[in-house]
Structure 1
């Protein structure tokens, strides 16, 4: 699932951890000859060490053995810190890389994916899920291997030194560990998924609360959102309590087992060995125990942590595999696809992936370049969906959309390079007015002459003059310092700044006063002949001068023609005109 660099670095971290464990085991083993020397209990191991060192005096040998033990443990600590620092750095960098890769994957994914998934879910995946995969799965996995090697090495050493007592200890600790894992495994997994679901709910409440703050305050329904948020956080906290308890429980259980084990081994040793040899082995068990017991506790706790991170891994695993299989290519700037003759829709049908019925059926339109097309019809007629298809945000289930005979789906990047859209709800960056017109979150330089032209065309000149810092004035998150009409005018200026060959206005003047709407309409009509216009409107007065009007009904193009032609020949359109004059 992970790339080669992550796998290679992870393998290096494991190798380094194994080396640390072996150093620790060797340092611990040196305690046996040291204690045998202190208790004057001779053994083959101590004799061999004497021979290798040239048969030194006992005092000198004791210093050498003690130094070996000390150097071993100090070296182990230094190596552990070095590898820990390197591992944290590697994990942090890869965590950032994976978050950025997923962010790129989601932003390059089809628009339909964003329609199906909520923003809270995607936000959870690029932030919490990635952090948990590295912090709760990969890093603890390294720790499990390190501690497992240490525990195994210590166990082998103890088996050599005292087989029967070690077998007794292994039986006690092994059975205890197995029972702990059996008890906690399913509970930790259940609690982890519950936390994942609860965190998604709390994030949704937070995003909805801050996004809809105006209506929430007007309706005095703050407590509904606070209660929903708090309930989700409480559910997460209670499940977290279970996981924390199950992770801490092994520590106290192991301490109890350790005391029982030491008592059992003491009885066995003194029954079978001389007091000197028994004391030497007990010293080894004591030193090893202080290394094995924390290691065993960490293994159990790390396994629970890995299980806690399992849901995060499950959430993004499929996305990561899909991303690795077909990595999103960086969008290379292309010249706009030419639109000099006509935009043609031929028998276009569309349905959503999770639906069995068509939203649009056999829609055909012909829009000459430089002309204006209005899409009208009741709510749910399919106007917005048809606009999404024209913009290349959705892909037709059947039929084709072409510009001068070239398929806009096959050449999507070039096609979209020449488009601009002004939606009814204009999205504004948390930046300056200039940044919002250029749509540059990083504050890129703008063309001052073009900026002046689009500000005037969008009827923003008076607003810019009134603002304390002009175009550099911060407009607030989502443009909270601007009125609805001002936000729409910023959207119009942004679209005009792009100098598009096809401009889509989706209810783009619905929040404007009549005088401003009239001036904006004059500006739009001034684009006639140079820019192809597609206008979605409920107020039919705004599309009276369009070259062509398409009436949509139940996902089909019911009729096309000029305003006067449709009013004279189509009863539904005539009724819409009549209602619009009331």
Structure 2
């Protein structure tokens, strides 16, 4: 039990750590509201007890502290008036109490929403600004689950449940004090049994809830991953007839989640039913004890009324206490996961520093880009991807990077884009290290990857990418379309640039999608264009069209081409041929063909000779 309380305490501390300074004061106010609510509930029990007494003997109101003399004075001692006035006062009190409890619930939910949205924003911002290599070992389904479900678990299932736990515990404590003052022997006997049963329930269920929380995290991740993989590869799934494989996978995950939800529902409801049974048994025992003490009937009725109201108010509180502790144990597994990422990506200064460096330090590109003796090795790799790579790219030239698979082409591009940082060596633009002006440098780059990730939106939204439609510069949009040779394609569409292209651009051909990627890269009017295997998946005709678009940009931009097939590189002013993470040869296409056997073999395989 002490180990369980220790883990709950750890979950709460980490949840509080994910609150910002101002939020901590707001959540502290919830405790104050809980204290006030517990006081109102205790007063409600006293009011019911007093009402039962007055109904049996109106003149007993004279013995009530504080309100008794006032009540007798207002009613002028008339029994009927005493009952009317006191009953009316109790009714008004209960209305006010319940209005306050509604306000308390609204305030709790409002603070939870505020903290949840803020943490989700911070996590998403942290993941977006995290070092690119973080995504090498983190699945996107896991990150989406953390952003979407994690903050709710932290603040609703742990912190808000902790506030509810305190509130319910205070209510139970207040009511027990009222009962103890009235009937100490009966209170100790009855609620001593209830407390023992509740402790046994918590002891029995604690490990189950913790395990279910851990399993839920994994199942949510697997569910999203299964849906992404199957729907994202729908064409292949249908062609290969693998629908049943993914259906079985999906069914298994949903079934396991259903079993956990079933067990959780049963385990949280069982304590309520058990407590309810014990409460009825306890009421019978109270009657027997009072009758055994030979109390007067009116005293018996007053005590039974007090215990009946308190008992039926305490019963849901006991159930909610058990449920709150269960929810904290389940949600606590999310807290452990989210807190690690919160510390690493939300509190760490790396993403802020990267953004600030770009805004504070401007970089001009007028002469050359230089990679100086650059090394990079991926985590867990046995050998470096780049091993002392050096190259110079003059301003305004078109250069090509070629090499066999694994030679370091893509890593070189990732370093040039500023996605990865050299572990040794440096990359400079006009003598200035890009690490000191990263945002400024990245603002000068237009990037066209092999696979264009298109939005399920209009052509204009895809080209402007990340710019609100009302802020799209129509002049830049038209120029990007012209340079990417999309004028005729868009001219044939009935809605022009407002045409919706479907998820992943399914309504466009491969070449059109690729040219849309080129237009996207050109919209921001970059000084440097990087094509990373941008034509490798296209047919010969479409590749030629893209090559013509690239050819039309020569002299206007500094162009860096990476290609597996060498047809796109034939007209580059300079080629760098990579082997084992370094530049093995450089020169024109003809020079490399004559002087480098391995390059000539690649050229032969591409049927270019």
Contact 2:450–2:536, Cα closer than 8 Å, also in 1: yes
Establish whether residue 527 from structure 1 lines up as the match of residue 549 from structure 2.
no
Establish whether residue 475 from structure 1 lines up as the match of residue 475 from structure 2.
no
Label 1:355 to 1:510 Cα distance change in 2 as closer, same or farther (>3 A).
closer
Aligned partners of 1:440 and 1:78: how far apart in 2? 46
Aligned partners of 2:81 and 2:343: how far apart in 1? 61
Other-structure match for 2:330 = 308
Label 1:44 to 1:504 Cα distance change in 2 as closer, same or farther (>3 A).
same
Worse-matched range after superposition: 80-89 or 239-248: 80-89
SS of the residue aligned with 1:410?
A: helix
SS of the residue aligned with 2:447?
A: strand
Contact 2:399–2:575, Cα closer than 8 Å, also in 1: yes
Other-structure match for 1:75 = 96
Other-structure match for 2:568 = 542
**Cα offsets for 1:177-225 (capped at 9, x unmatched):** 0011011111111112112211111110111122111111111211211
TM-score (norm 1): 0.94
Establish whether residue 280 from structure 1 lines up as the match of residue 302 from structure 2.
yes
Label 1:405 to 1:45 Cα distance change in 2 as closer, same or farther (>3 A).
farther
Label 1:448 to 1:35 Cα distance change in 2 as closer, same or farther (>3 A).
closer
Shift in Å, 1:72: 2.7
Other-structure match for 1:46 = 64
Match of 2:32 among 15, 18, 26: 15
Shift in Å, 1:508: 1.4
Shift in Å, 1:43: 9.5
Aligned partners of 2:313 and 2:72: how far apart in 1? 32
Contact 1:457–1:520, Cα closer than 8 Å, also in 2: no
Match of 2:283 among 262, 269, 290: 262
TM-score (norm 2): 0.90
Label 1:325 to 1:5 Cα distance change in 2 as closer, same or farther (>3 A).
farther
Other-structure match for 2:598 = 572
Shift in Å, 1:515: 4.4
Label 1:406 to 1:58 Cα distance change in 2 as closer, same or farther (>3 A).
same
Contact 2:61–2:71, Cα closer than 8 Å, also in 1: no
Aligned partners of 1:442 and 1:522: how far apart in 2? 31
Other-structure match for 1:179 = 200
Label 1:555 to 1:328 Cα distance change in 2 as closer, same or farther (>3 A).
closer
Aligned partners of 2:607 and 2:407: how far apart in 1? 21
Other-structure match for 1:345 = 371
Aligned partners of 1:373 and 1:254: how far apart in 2? 77
Establish whether residue 326 from structure 1 lines up as the match of residue 344 from structure 2.
no
Shift in Å, 1:238: 0.4
Aligned partners of 2:543 and 2:85: how far apart in 1? 93
Worse-matched range after superposition: 25-34 or 484-493: 25-34
Question: 5+ unaligned residues in a row in structure 1: which ranges?
Answer: none
Other-structure match for 1:245 = 266
Match of 2:320 among 285, 290, 298: 298
Contact 1:459–1:516, Cα closer than 8 Å, also in 2: no
Contact 1:27–1:68, Cα closer than 8 Å, also in 2: no
Question: 5+ unaligned residues in a row in structure 2: which ranges?
Answer: 1-16
Worse-matched range after superposition: 505-514 or 95-104: 505-514
Other-structure match for 2:47 = 30
Contact 1:199–1:233, Cα closer than 8 Å, also in 2: no
Contact 2:62–2:69, Cα closer than 8 Å, also in 1: no
Label 1:440 to 1:391 Cα distance change in 2 as closer, same or farther (>3 A).
same
Other-structure match for 2:132 = 111
Pairing of 1:132-211 with structure 2 (within 5 A): 132-211=153-232
Worse-matched range after superposition: 316-325 or 6-15: 316-325
Aligned partners of 1:46 and 1:528: how far apart in 2? 96
SS of the residue aligned with 1:78?
A: helix
Pairing of 1:90-109 with structure 2 (within 5 A): 90-109=111-130
SS of the residue aligned with 1:344?
A: strand
Contact 1:492–1:508, Cα closer than 8 Å, also in 2: no
The alignment covers a number of residue pairs equal to 582
Contact 1:389–1:396, Cα closer than 8 Å, also in 2: yes
